[in-house]
Amino acid sequence: MKGLLTLFLVGCWLLGYAQGPATPQVYANPQAGYQLTYPRAWQLRQNASKTETTFFAGDTAKLAPAVVLIVRLLPGQLAPGTLARNQQDSLWRSVRRLPRSQVLRLDQHDAGSYHELRYDYTFATDSVGATRVHVLGRRVWRGNQEFQLEYRAAVRQEGSALAEGQQVVDSFGFTNQPAGRYPAGQQCDDKMYGIAALRYVNETWEDDCRTIHEFSVTDPSVSPKIHREVLPFQSYALAKGFDNCLYSVTKAPTNAPEYVYRYNPATRQGEYTPWQLPAQGPETVWISAATDERGDLYFSTADASQLVKVSPADNSVTVVWATDPVRQASYYSAIGFAGAGSHGNFCLDDANTLYQIYSTDGSLIKVDLNTRQPAPEMIALEGLPEKGGYSDVLMQVDKAGRRRLFLAGPKSLYRVDLERREAYRVRRGIYTDLAGCNLFQATDQPAREGAPAAPTASAVPPASAVWRGRVLDAATLQPLPQAQLRLHLASGSGGFGPAASLAPDGSFAMPVQANKDYAARVRLVGYLTTDSTYRTLAGPYMQDILLRPFTVGTTLRLDNVQFEQGTTRLLPAAYPALDELLAILKENPKLTIELRGHTDNVGPAEKNQILSEQRVTAIRLYLIGLGIVPKRIRGVGLGGTQPRASNDREVTRQLNRRVEFRITGVQ
């Protein structure tokens, strides 16, 4: 049974729709773990089995359904992406078969716990093209479910409903994101976090342990970004997953199983995970958490007697040890007596070495996680205050690729030089635990303290993608396989690349860098040359390009055609646009145009009229001097009689000082 959630917005309701209050309603399905929002003025109705929900815009007795939502489950548990395979190509082929279709967007990506295909296209309901339909939506595959959310309405009836329909589609999201493998290629960013121990309220310091500070390893001395009281409990333990979310557990001494809480700093939303830590034991609490090179999360008790691993890849929770391995060390009697400080706070490096910190003096203890063997000696550090209160350590990598060990001490954060065994104060702040994981980024291995810098980001090859689409006639949406399409990376040097090879249906496939701005130039005799900028997406994606045919009456602005103030002398910036117009006239020998000059309303109207006529004449003579037959170009000066914007401010007056050309003949 095919899993499907379908969300259809039918165009007929648009005719009588009255916009409701801005605050939307929330529709949620806690069992299926998703929710969406819809306009407050709408009504909804469910069938008896609650497998189908119908949304109505207003009175359900008078209006057709606006949204129909159907949920079905797939048999068995399928691997993420099993159903998503080839769906992009399949939809691409289907849309191309529709009459006069145009693809505005079609891309697919792996979000780790689910796969998603987004699409946005229009098509004609018949060969005549009198009625066009706009379709945009999402298909999402997660576990044993498939979800499809789709807006659909006649273009001529859309009005403001397009934006509203887009918001409904975009609002769909999962409320109980399952723990699972991280997205392919997912890497930790360079942000590090700390749980703030105190907060300042009414001129008094009081316990916090729910607020998280966010700062960058590049310069942690900069004031942090505050995530105020985002944890639902007080906590001493914080770890950062490869999904860049933060994971925590309560500090309450419950001696009972506790669920791990996930907080997403990007969305500022949180929820409990299905991962449950075992009871921590009597007279101790969960005090610290860390991440390893596989993205697994570790939690330790204050007495270091229990270390637990959570594996997001398979949702398993495993006790790593139930007895403190440091008890084997010769120095344990000096740190393990009654009333001694804690050494439960820890971090991990990429060699499976666990670093613990002794809270009394900040000394470090190394434990081999594979053998459970502690190092024979503790590492004493210079530069730390003698007073106790050392609460955590964290290994990170700086911008130059060097390892940096950060230490949360009494009232301050420190950076540790392990080679010299020295600590340096970085910033003020009291943190119960630190979290970060950029040490495990899948790039060059981090360098030791003082080692040469790693390659910079600019040395890493940019992510590649393939832009697929078609070149279409903007009026008829028919393919234009004879067109010449060239691309140029907007931020790069050099000119446009070689022309793309277009198939008989006008389709192309161009290799590009992902998430970059590209200038696209498209030429074809009988059409206006297109020079537009497009933002590429990651992975293969689809987007069509439209070419406007020459049509009598079409008026276009010549960009950057400016003159010295009060004269007819062209500025150097004007010539690229004039040369482009010259190329159009030469490629289309039957094309005739009218140059139209405009000014603002500053100064006498008669002078502006004369000046606009003189400037149009200067442009006409420039084109004639380069070989264009005089009778193909007319000129008219309109002064300030046809403003495009207000003349009250200089910024808008600039829009009125312009030169345009209008097509007067194509035969």
Percentage of the chain beyond pLDDT 70 is 84
Q: How confident is the model at residue 20 (pLDDT cuts 50, 70, 90)?
A: very low
Tokens at 212, concatenated: 């998280």
The more confidently predicted of residues 207 and 204 is: 207
* Residue 434: per-residue pLDDT: 95
The arrangement of strands across the sheet holding 52-57 comes to 42-46, 52-57, 65-70
Model pLDDT for residues 327-347, shown as the tens digit of each residue: 999 999 999 888 888 999 999
The more confidently predicted of residues 311 and 566 is: 311
User: Mean pLDDT throughout 171-198?
Assistant: 73
* Residue 428 Cα to chain centre, angstroms: 32
Tell me how long the chain is.
Answer: 667
In 278-388, beta strands by DSSP E: 286-291, 297-301, 307-311, 316-321, 346-348, 353-357, 364-368, 373-374
- DSSP one-letter string for 198-266: EEEETTEEEE--S-EEEEESS-TTSPPEEETT-SSS--SEEEE-TTS-EEEE------S-EEEEEEETT
User: Mean pLDDT throughout 160-173?
Assistant: 79
- The Cα diameter of the chain in Å comes to 103
- Write the DSSP symbol of residue 382: B
When mean pLDDT is compared over 294-298, 527-531, 652-656, the highest value belongs to 294-298
Assess whether pLDDT exceeds 70 at residue 608. yes
Coil vs helix vs strand at 131: coil
Q: How confident is the model at residue 186 (pLDDT cuts 50, 70, 90)?
A: low
Model pLDDT for residues 40-78, shown as the tens digit of each residue: 877 777 777 666 777 666 555 455 555 666 666 554 444
Percentage of the chain beyond pLDDT 90 is 38
* Residue 40: per-residue pLDDT: 82
By DSSP bridging, strand 132-142 and strand 392-397 are unpaired
Q: How confident is the model at residue 152 (pLDDT cuts 50, 70, 90)?
A: confident
Residue 13's closest CA among 165, 126, 130, 141? 165
* Residue 183: per-residue pLDDT: 52
Assess whether pLDDT exceeds 80 at residue 106. yes
* Residue 118: per-residue pLDDT: 92
Tokens at 350, concatenated: 């990429």
Q: How confident is the model at residue 142 (pLDDT cuts 50, 70, 90)?
A: confident
* Residue 182: per-residue pLDDT: 52
The more confidently predicted of residues 552 and 179 is: 552
Count the Cβ atoms, other than its own, within 10 Å of residue 174.
17
Model pLDDT for residues 278-300, shown as the tens digit of each residue: 999 888 999 999 999 888 999 99
Assess whether pLDDT exceeds 60 at residue 145. yes
User: Mean pLDDT throughout 546-575?
Assistant: 85
* Residue 448: per-residue pLDDT: 42
Q: How confident is the model at residue 381 (pLDDT cuts 50, 70, 90)?
A: very high
Residue 306's closest CA among 344, 354, 252? 344
Assess whether pLDDT exceeds 70 at residue 107. yes
Assess whether pLDDT exceeds 60 at residue 83. no
User: Mean pLDDT throughout 95-122?
Assistant: 86
* Residue 66: per-residue pLDDT: 58
* Residue 484: per-residue pLDDT: 93
Domains present along the chain, CATH in parentheses: 11-174 (3.40.1000.10), 191-440 (2.110.10), 464-547 (2.60.40.1120), 555-665 (3.30.1330.60)
Model pLDDT for residues 429-483, shown as the tens digit of each residue: 899 999 998 888 644 444 444 443 433 434 445 567 889 999 999 888 999 999 9
* Residue 460: per-residue pLDDT: 43
Count the Cβ atoms, other than its own, within 10 Å of residue 96.
18
User: Mean pLDDT throughout 417-423?
Assistant: 88
* Residue 19: per-residue pLDDT: 41
Assess whether pLDDT exceeds 80 at residue 249. yes
CA 534 to CA 522: how far, in whole Å? 13
* Residue 70: per-residue pLDDT: 66
CA 392 to CA 346: how far, in whole Å? 6
* Residue 648: per-residue pLDDT: 83
CA 637 to CA 612: how far, in whole Å? 5
Count the Cβ atoms, other than its own, within 10 Å of residue 442.
10
**Residue 267, burial from CB neighbour count under 10 angstroms (0-12, 13-18, 19+):** exposed
Model pLDDT for residues 211-246, shown as the tens digit of each residue: 999 988 778 888 899 999 999 999 999 999 988 999
Q: Is pTM beyond 0.75 here? A: no
The more confidently predicted of residues 216 and 255 is: 255
* Residue 14: per-residue pLDDT: 35
User: Mean pLDDT throughout 199-207?
Assistant: 79
With a CB cutoff of 8 Å and minimum separation 6, the contacts of 488 are 494, 495, 496, 497, 518, 519, 521
* Residue 238: per-residue pLDDT: 96
* Residue 646: per-residue pLDDT: 84
Assess whether pLDDT exceeds 90 at residue 541. no
Q: What is the average pLDDT score of the chain?
A: 82
